[in-house]
Structure 1
Amino acid sequence: MRHITSALLLSGSLLSGSALAECQNTGNFQQWLNSFKHQATASGIPANLVNNALHNIQYDPSVIELDRSQNTVSQTFLQYAANKANSYRLTNGQRKMREDRPLFQRIERQFGVPAPVLTAYWALESDFGNVTGNVQTLRALATLAYDCRRGSFFHNELMHALRLIQRGDIKVPEMMGAWAGELGQLQFIPSSYNKHAVDYDGDGRRDLIHSRADALASAASLLRQYGWQSRQPWLVEVKVPVQMNWALARLGKKLPVAQWAKQGVTDVSGRPLRTSGNAALLLPMGRNGPAFLAYPNFDVMLRWNKSTVYSTSAAYLASRYAGAGQVRYGNAPIQVLSVAQVKQLQSKLRARGLRVTKIDGIIGEETRRAVRLVQQQMRLPADGYPDLTFFQKL
């Protein structure tokens, strides 16, 4: 089950949980569709293409139901990573990299993105191209474009879908994907498809559904555009000491690796750190849980999907493909709050005047920032992760 439409996060358009409130559609779908057809034709898309593509398109209430009920990741990193980096994905991902080694090598030479990273996204987004979705894309996009909640965004995506047909990249019957319009083996929304897709198998069209060469190279193209640095790390597991300046451990605080070493951070076996450059110390479950140095390439992965849990799990899976071992559980048992307790925590933080826009039970970066501020006020270790002790004090 998809935890979130990652392609929407690709474009930075997914609204916050507070914006998920119901709204009421009061217009007429067919009238709206006729108006859209005129707009599409006026934009330069041939009228016969528009009419043929949107012929008999109907409003789909099941898509609206999915849109209203979507959830972000409520699992901890260890729970989510164990599910996603399972033995099936590890075994099959390694096999895919061996079978397609020449393709991956060619992509890395051109775009700088290594096989483990591309394979991790390939595994998570579509089970290596096996599960790309069975929803009619044009019907889903038209429904969401008409809908009152995010009509402007999906209006643009529907236009891009028609332009993909106009370019000859994809035919109408092939336009099947996820409920929010994501297409292909790497689940690109139409605007990202138009902007970043490449024809890598040389057949004259950019086919992200059937061509793994096109799909993988297009993912690499997107990551390079987002700032991927060739031959640089993305996420490296480390071991943290029992005590240090925990307030430094946040994604927005990159320090030279040598400074992390001075704080007592070591590699997972306790030896001195061997990497260089600047990195943030990422503690997805606080000071007692797993620890990672997050390099600038991890910021690029967060642009693919803004969920820290998803992106950390994708980066961890990529590291496993690159030869890293199974993640450590950390230095001590972790007191995990329930979803209901996190919602209560968020309400209390908001009542203190702190910025918490979503009461959703998810410990995201905004909640972590608020927690860190209160931890500092309470003279607690300010690692930004709310454990049971903090919850009870609050």
Structure 2
Amino acid sequence: MKTATLAAMLLGYACLGGAAQAAQCGGDFGTWNAAFQSEAAAKGISQRALASLNGLTSDQQVLSLDRRQGHFSKTFEEFGAPRIAARMSKAQSMMQKHSALLARIEQQFGVPGAVVIAIWALETDFGVVQGKQNALRSLATLAHDCRRTERFQNELLDALRIVDRGDLSVAEMRGAWAGELGQTQFLPSSYLKFAVDFDGNGKRDLIRSVPDVLASTANYLRGYGWQRGGRIAEGTPNYAVLKEWNKSGVYQKTIAVFASRLMAEQ
């Protein structure tokens, strides 16, 4: 779901005035921001959270990245194979290190540890590369842009709800360029829907808590129909679930091949 992930792969929406409740896209960014904040307040977002949007400017780098998704035109041999090779050794170590945790996750959610480890490896190199961009600014930029304004206005609202819920502070809302958060790069809507507190500390922390990260990833897959004990070969129901993680065919294949190789090593 990350960087050239689900968010970046979605089909664009033309801005035809947007939904009835959506701030009008395009035009002056400050004017749009003020209109968005007014609508967000009416939907229950706190003034404390909304204050984080004050003074934001459109991020031209985000717009540039949004318009070029070149590495997903690559073949599996170009994209997937080298990424798997570079991460296999550490992935095997992580399987051993977190074996008890992964067993608990599979018992509760039905998703094998190899699958969530493969996703964790591919998304952020096991949490090392989560992104440092201001997620609120990125989301506001994409919401103001007229390509997918309704989609990203909703994502921005959900990001503010994460702050209001207390899972992350405004300062912690940093991630990839399209607003994905945490070690497996959840969009805010997925964070709200699928993040779980698996370490029992009262917060759903997908930035620092490995138990929360891996369990939430499994919960996401289960939420889209993952079948316990099912295969992940191309053409199977579980392979179809990977399409809900990322719309790119080569990315889906990379996850499946990586996970299958990890399972074969167990």
Q: Report the TM-score, using the length of structure 2 for normalisation.
A: 0.90
Q: C-alpha distance in 2, partners of 1:117/1:195? A: 20
Residue 308 (structure 1) aligned to one of 245, 249, 262: 249
More strand by share: 1
Secondary structure class of the residue paired with 2:73: coil
Structure 1 residues 91 and 319, CA gap change in structure 2 (3 angstroms): same
Q: C-alpha distance in 1, partners of 2:146/2:27? A: 9
- The 5 A counterparts of 1:132-211 are 132-211=130-209
After TM superposition, give the deviation of residue 74 of structure 1 in Å: 2.3
Q: C-alpha distance in 1, partners of 2:120/2:223? A: 18
After the TM superposition, which parts of structure 1 deviate over 6 Å for at least 4 consecutive aligned residues?
Answer: none
Retained in 2: the 8 A contact 1:228–1:297? yes
Q: Report the TM-score, using the length of structure 1 for normalisation.
A: 0.62
After TM superposition, give the deviation of residue 231 of structure 1 in Å: 1.5
> Which segment drifts farther, 77-86 or 132-141?
77-86
Q: Work out the number of aligned pairs and report it.
A: 256
- Partner in structure 2 of residue 27 of structure 1: 27
- Partner in structure 2 of residue 129 of structure 1: 127
After TM superposition, give the deviation of residue 72 of structure 1 in Å: 5.1
- The 5 A counterparts of 1:269-348 are 294-323=235-264
Please list every run of 5 or more consecutive structure 2 residues that lacks an aligned counterpart in the other structure: 15-24
Retained in 1: the 8 A contact 2:26–2:144? no
Identical-pair percentage: 47
Structure 1 residues 26 and 303, CA gap change in structure 2 (3 angstroms): closer
More helix by share: 2
Q: Answer with 1 or 2: which has the greater Rg.
A: 1
- Alignment RMSD (CA, Å): 2.1
Retained in 1: the 8 A contact 2:2–2:123? no
After TM superposition, give the deviation of residue 190 of structure 1 in Å: 0.3
In the alignment, residue 260 of structure 2 is paired with which amino acid? Answer: S
After TM superposition, give the deviation of residue 80 of structure 1 in Å: 2.4
In the alignment, residue 169 of structure 1 is paired with which amino acid? Answer: D
Structure 1 residues 26 and 139, CA gap change in structure 2 (3 angstroms): closer
- The 5 A counterparts of 1:100-111 are 100-111=98-109
After TM superposition, give the deviation of residue 296 of structure 1 in Å: 1.4
What whole-Å deviation, never above 9, does each CA across 1:270-318 have from its counterpart, x for those lacking one?
Answer: xxxxxxxxxxxx5xxxxxxxxxxx3211111122112211111110000
Retained in 2: the 8 A contact 1:4–1:70? no
Please list every run of 5 or more consecutive structure 1 residues that lacks an aligned counterpart in the other structure: 20-24, 236-281, 283-293, 326-394
Q: C-alpha distance in 2, partners of 1:224/1:178? A: 24
